[in-house]
Structure 1
Amino acid sequence: MEALKVGRSIAFLRKRYRMTQRALADCLHISDKAVSKWERGLAIPDVSLLGKLSVLLDTDIESILEGNIASFDVRWDGVLEMNYPQGISASTLLYDKPAVYLQLSYFMLAGITDISVLGKDSDVEWVKAQLADGGSLGISLRYGEERESDEHIAGTMRIRELSFLYGKDLTKSFRRILYGVPQSYTLENYQGAALGIQFDRAQPIHKRTTLKLERGILAFPIASHQELHTASSLIHLIQESMNEHIGSLSEIAYHRGLIRDSK
C-alpha cells in the first residue's frame, strides 16, 4: 500500500463530489489537517475509518487502498428507455415517488449524471415538466435522443424496464461494474430474473455477460400491478423503519455533492 497513491485517490473522489477537506473531516469527526496529510501522502487513514470513508466517497475499501485513480476517471452515459407495463407510466407512484424517479436514482447512485430520456411522448413530456434539464439536481437530462458517440465515454448504462433494487451495497455493485473488468453486462437478481438494466462498454463487444447481483441486494422486475404493490409496500417499510428515502433524487444529489441543498 503506497500512502501517496491512497492520498491521490481520496483527493480525486473528494473533489469529484465537491467536498472540501473540512467537510470530509467533519463527517469523519477528525481534523481537516488529518485529511490534508492523507492527500499529501504523509499518512494513511486509520483502519477504523475506512468503512465510513468508502461510504462517503461512494467506493469500496479495496479501491481506496489500491489507490488506482485511473479507474475512477472514466465517464459513462445513461440512457433511460421508459418501457412500462400496461397501466403503468412514468408518473405512477411507487408509494410516494413517481416510478421514473426510482429509475433515475439508479443512474445517480452509479455516479452517472448525463442521461438521455426516451419513451412515449406522454411520459417524456411529463418528466420534462417535472425535471426540465435536470439542472436543479446537478444532472443533465436530454429528451428524445441519445448522446452521439464520444471517444471519452467508457460506456452506457441503459435502463430498459422498471425494476426495484435496494441494498446497502447497491452503489458499490454499480461502481465495480463501471470501473472493473472491461465487459458488457446484463443485470439479473440473485434468482436469475432479468432486471432490464444493461452496462454496455463503448468498445465493440460481441455479447453481454449475465451478471447476478449479490444476495444482500433485494431486486426484482416490476412487470405487473401486483409487483408494483409489492415494491410500494417495501418502500413504505424501509422508509418507516430505517428512515431512508427511496428514490429521493434531491437527497441523492445532495449527498453526492451535486447540489448544496436537498430541499
Structure 2
Amino acid sequence: MGVVNVTPDSFSDGGRWFDTTTAVTHGLDLVAGGADLVDVGGESTRPGATRVDEDEELRRGVPVVRALTAEGVVVSVDTMRASVAARAIDAGAALVNDVSGGLADPAMVPAVAAGGVPFVVMHWRGFSHDMNSRAVYGDVVGEVVAELALRVEAEVGAGIPPERLVIDPGLGFAKRAEHDLSLVAGLGALRSLGRPVLVARSRKRFLGHVLSDPEGVPPPAEGRDAATAALSAIAAYAGAWAVRVHDVPATADAVRVAHAIASAT
C-alpha cells in the first residue's frame, strides 16, 4: 500500500503532493514501483495535528481518488469522515482506511456497510491532538487485541460482513516506541482475530527512536526508509496482509524476499 498524502502538514512528506496533478502523478509512480494499491488521504493524523474541515478534506482527496481510479489504480481512502468515505467510494475507492476504526464519526460504519467495500479497522484511543497522553498500557499486545476485537464485533453487528474487515494495530497512535516494537513482535496475536492485518509503520517515530545517534537525535523521516523496508520484511514473514509505506520499491523487494523465505520453510 503506497501512501499519497494530499496535505500540507503530514509528518513525512507534507506539501510535496498537495495539488491534484502532482498527487496523481505520485500515485502512478508508486504503482510503477510495485504498489498494489494506493492510499489517498486529505487530512494529516500526525501527533498534534488539528483537523481540517470537511469541505477542505473533500477538495483535497476526492479528485485524486477519481483520477487514479480512472487510470486503473486500486485506491483506498484514508479518512475518519463518513461523508468523505462515501464520496470517495462513489469516485471509485475500493477500500476505506479509517485510523479511528469507526469511532470518530458514528456515520462511518453505516456508510461503509452501504458502500460494500472493505474497511480497515485501526486501533485508536483518541484524536491526534492528545493521543500521546493515552499511551498507557499494562500489556500492550493483549489490550490492543482486546480493543480491536470489540471494534470488529461492533462493526459486524452494524452491518459490515466480517470478510470485509482488515485490522491495523495503529503503530504510533497512542503508542510509545516500546509499545510499537512489542506490537510488531506480537503480530501473531493480532492474526488470532482471524482478519487480515495491515501494518502501517512507514518512517514513524519509533523507527527514529531506534535509529537515533549517540546524542539521541533521530534521522529525518526519509532517512528511515531502510528501516521501514526491514520492518516490512518482518511483517510480511509474520503473515501481514499488507504494509503501508512511502518508499515502495525497497519495501516491495523486501516483501518478495520474505515471502520466498516463508515459502521455503
Query: TM above 0.5, one fold?
Result: no
Higher strand share: 1
Which has the bigger relative contact order, CA under 8 A and spacing at least 6?
1
Taking structure 1 as the reference length, the TM-score comes to 0.26
Q: Which has the larger radius of gyration?
A: 1
Taking structure 2 as the reference length, the TM-score comes to 0.26
Higher helix share: 2
